[in-house]
Amino acid sequence: MSKRIALVEDDLALRENYIAALTKQGYEVQAYGNRTSAEQVFLQRLPDLAIIDIGLEDEIDGGFAVCQQLRSLSKTLPIIF
């Protein structure tokens, strides 16, 4: 079973590049274009790793809010900004 990576990136081109590169390495990638959609899914199931953009859409620090939510759900989940 492949590891699940959550990618939270609002820039479509960057998101697609990350998805292609990580999928090529055998990871299952679930990508989200904004904080709200990512947070809703994280309440249901956590990934094995989260890669988060700091600035999300109109939220200059939206990625930090995602990180805070993830930390409240798991103290050990690896997070990369």
* Domains of the chain, first to last: 4-80 (3.40.50.2300)
Map tokens 């990350």 to a residue. Answer: 18
At residue 9, φ and ψ (nearest 5 deg) are -145, 125
Q: In the chain, which ranges are E strands?
A: 4-8, 28-32, 49-52, 79-80
In this model, does residue 1 exceed pLDDT 70? no
In whole angstroms, give the CA distance from residue 67 to residue 81: 9
Return the pLDDT at 70: 98
Return the pLDDT at 24: 97
The model's confidence at residue 2, banded by pLDDT at 50, 70 and 90, is confident
Q: pLDDT tens across 25-51, in order?
A: 999 999 999 999 999 999 999 999 999
What is the overall mean pLDDT for the chain? 96
Mean pLDDT on 57-80 = 96
Amino acid at 23: T
